[in-house]
Structure 1
Amino acid sequence: MNDNEIISQGYENYTPEEHETWRILFNRQAEMLPGRAAPEFVDGLEALGVEANGIPDFEKLSDRLEAKTGWRIVAVRGLIDDDVFFGLLADRRFPVTHWIRKRAQLDYLQEPDCFHDCFGHVPMLFNPVFADYMAAYGRGGLKALKHDALTYLARLYWYTVEFGLIDTPDGLRIYGAGIVSSKGESLYALDDPAPNRLEFDLMRIMQTDYIIDHFQQTYFVIDSYDQLFRATRPDFVPYYRQLKTLPELAADAVRDTDRRIEIDRKAQGGAKK
């Protein structure tokens, strides 16, 4: 695999203002996520030692992560080529953007920065099953490139790793990085009546388009991380052949066969099917 897109984090180059931006983002998410984020995310954040006092040192963070699940963090400039991204995941290395957003971008950033990548993604890699899912996804991505099926696999990543919800005994909880790293979407995903919340269905997800410049119109809900891992085990090539014969579904589409999941946040009992 070509590692040319991996760079040094340059930790010593961060300014006091950039560390302060991290602190603002961290503190406001830490305040709202209890009772919203999945327990595995909260446990991972604590275990990995990502704290509020400034941008983490990726090498130190990697050492803690590797001791738990065999993963390491590598610094990149931003979005990287698909083959490099999938290869890194398959090799149990997670790419984290080295720069952090400007103060004016606290509430919205279209391109991932180190807060999204580090705060949003890395804690879940502490969970062994989810970590294995991510490695399996990387291997699947390398195969998808050979079968002109990247669109389908990108949708799976979007609706699980980035914007996934999980049904727990205490109600729906967030595990997707795109939600836990966003103040607005952390509230919207669980409280707003507008979005569809649908039961996880692998083929349904890979048919479904998504939006990148607004809160999601649809979230898919898993029962467990084992469910995600099992979904990556079969050979996807037959799925890709079938998907090429099926219509694309809009991001807000709901079919008669979809199973909706309703929530009652006031009751904190959460999911009602």
Structure 2
Amino acid sequence: MPKSTEYDAKHPDADGFIAYDAEEDAVWRDLYAQQLPAVRRHMATPYLRGLELLQMSADRVPQCPDISARLGGLTGWRVEPVPALIGFGKFFGMLADKAFPAASFIRKRKHFDYIEEPDIFHEIFGHTPLLTDPAFAGFSQAIGQAGTRCDKADYAWLIRLYWFSIEFGLMRQDGELKALGSGLASSVTELPWSLSGQPELRPFDVIDILRTPYRIDIHQPVYFVIEDLDDLFAAARRDLLADVAQARRLGLHAPKYPPKTAA
């Protein structure tokens, strides 16, 4: 997360609804219209099935209570707007409670193609479709539950499993490489990059993932490919704290990206 931001959180009313203005709704409409063809072409079936189930608005920013009502009937999850960027501890705690934390603001037009911090388009368009699926929702909850039991020093290790699967995972579908992660679904530029043949592709392996560093402000140089979704869901039944301990003993892999330069 960036240490500073020009965005201010938007606060819901007593019923959980947020008053977005006409320009904010227009940004959502244009993002949705631009991203939908790429999503239909490149995203895996579980995401596309969830997007269809949610029937979210294409013309205005969806409201968390409306998305929560649909998710609640499918998997028991809900979406809660958060007032600011939250720490790993709160993030894991909310996942454990079947609550997805959603940044409440939407990006400005000058950040249309790329924004470093997550906005409501990333949260709703990117994340909520997978939360309609009980297995994916259960995987997210398992990571949250592990996070509530681990030491703070282990947060940065555990979050890599979420990052390289739910956020930026790829999968093999009928022999074709497809994007699965929410960060890819909502990214105008990284979705095609991830499938371009230029990044390094590795097989999905929990320990390898936990040892792989990443940066949030660049397109990923490495993606992990899930050959069988059962391999992903099986990770939810592992002793993730023991996996983190093993990864720590083995140490981090050398980064595949250059160090971040000062602004």
TM over 0.5: yes
Within the alignment, does 1:236 sit opposite 2:232 as a pair?
Answer: no
Task: Tell me by how many angstroms 1:212 deviates.
Answer: 1.5
One-letter code aligned to 1:31: P
Is the Cα contact below 8 Å between 1:120 and 1:181 reproduced in 2?
yes
Structure 2 residue corresponding to 1:31, chosen from 20, 37, 50: 37
Within the alignment, does 1:45 sit opposite 2:51 as a pair?
Answer: yes
Within the alignment, does 1:207 sit opposite 2:193 as a pair?
Answer: no
**Superposition pairs for residues 32-111 of structure 1, below 5 Å?**
32-111=38-117
CA distance in 1, matches of 2:40, 2:83: 31
> Across the two proteins, how many residue pairs are aligned to each other?
247
Specify whether residues 179 and 12 from structure 1 end up closer, same or farther in structure 2 by C-alpha distance, changes over 3 A only.
Answer: closer
CA distance in 2, matches of 1:204, 1:21: 38
Is the Cα contact below 8 Å between 2:140 and 2:162 reproduced in 1?
no
1:109 is paired with a residue whose SS is: coil
Structure 1 residue corresponding to 2:151, chosen from 128, 131, 145: 145
One-letter code aligned to 1:215: H
Task: Tell me by how many angstroms 1:78 deviates.
Answer: 3.2
Tell me which residue corresponds to 2:19: 13
CA distance in 2, matches of 1:232, 1:65: 20
CA distance in 2, matches of 1:93, 1:38: 24
Is the Cα contact below 8 Å between 2:10 and 2:105 reproduced in 1?
no
What is the CA deviation profile of residues 139-189 of structure 1, one whole-angstrom value per residue up to 9, with x for unaligned ones? 01112236x311211111111111100111051111111111011111111
Specify whether residues 102 and 198 from structure 1 end up closer, same or farther in structure 2 by C-alpha distance, changes over 3 A only.
Answer: same
RMSD of aligned Cα (Å): 1.9
Task: Tell me by how many angstroms 1:7 deviates.
Answer: 5.6
Structure 2 residue corresponding to 1:252, chosen from 253, 256, 261: 256
2:202 is paired with a residue whose SS is: strand
Task: Tell me by how many angstroms 1:89 deviates.
Answer: 0.7
Specify whether residues 123 and 84 from structure 1 end up closer, same or farther in structure 2 by C-alpha distance, changes over 3 A only.
Answer: same
Tell me which residue corresponds to 2:126: 120
CA distance in 2, matches of 1:211, 1:100: 22
One-letter code aligned to 2:122: H
CA distance in 2, matches of 1:140, 1:229: 15
1:219 is paired with a residue whose SS is: strand
What is the CA deviation profile of residues 222-243 of structure 1, one whole-angstrom value per residue up to 9, with x for unaligned ones? 1233322211212233323322
Give aligned-pair identity as a percent: 38
Q: Which runs of 5+ in 1 are unaligned?
A: 254-273
One-letter code aligned to 1:70: G
One-letter code aligned to 1:160: S
CA distance in 1, matches of 2:30, 2:239: 43
Tell me which residue corresponds to 1:270: none
Task: Tell me by how many angstroms 1:29 deviates.
Answer: 0.8
Task: Tell me by how many angstroms 1:13 deviates.
Answer: 2.1
One-letter code aligned to 2:239: D
1:244 is paired with a residue whose SS is: helix
Structure 1: 4+ residue segments shifted above 6 A: none
Task: Tell me by how many angstroms 1:6 deviates.
Answer: 11
Specify whether residues 66 and 152 from structure 1 end up closer, same or farther in structure 2 by C-alpha distance, changes over 3 A only.
Answer: same
Tell me which residue corresponds to 1:164: 169
Tell me which residue corresponds to 1:186: 191
One-letter code aligned to 1:231: A
